[in-house]
């Protein structure tokens, strides 16, 4: 009887650990996805700023533009370029 109780406790502990890992990994995946988009958006902002000088698109790298590119990623940089053309 004591062996069955030990096995049941071990199974419950394994299930608990697996569920805890699944719960903790979900936010980490979201944060990692956000960071990847932010890095690509920020790099694209620098590329557009550098190459844009040659073709007449002057998107400045300042705090506001960096926050937009970092938060929205590549679509944010596209919006910055379009806003530069419109205004």
CB 50 within 8 A of CB 59: no
Q: What is the mean pLDDT of residues 53-65?
A: 85
Q: How many helices (H) and strands (E) does the chain have?
A: 3, 0
What's the pLDDT band for 1 if we cut at 50, 70, 90?
low
Q: Read off the pLDDT of residues 9-20 as tens digits, 9 standing for 90 and up.
A: 888 889 999 988
Q: What is the value of pTM for the model shown?
A: 0.65
List the one residue out of 60, 56, 33, 57 whose CA is nearest residue 46.
60
Burial (0-12, 13-18, 19+ Cβ within 10 Å), 74: middle
């Amino acid at each position: 009887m004591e062996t069955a109780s030990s096995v049941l406790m071990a199974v419950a502990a394994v299930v608990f650990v697996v569920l805890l890992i699944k719960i903790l990994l979900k936010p980490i995946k979201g944060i990692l996805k956000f960071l990847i988009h932010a890095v690509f958006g920020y790099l694209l902002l620098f590329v557009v700023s550098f190459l844009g000088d040659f073709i007449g698109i002057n998107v400045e790298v300042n705090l506001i533009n960096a926050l937009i590119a970092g938060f929205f990623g590549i679509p944010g940089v596209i919006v910055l370029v379009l806003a530069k053309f419109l205004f």
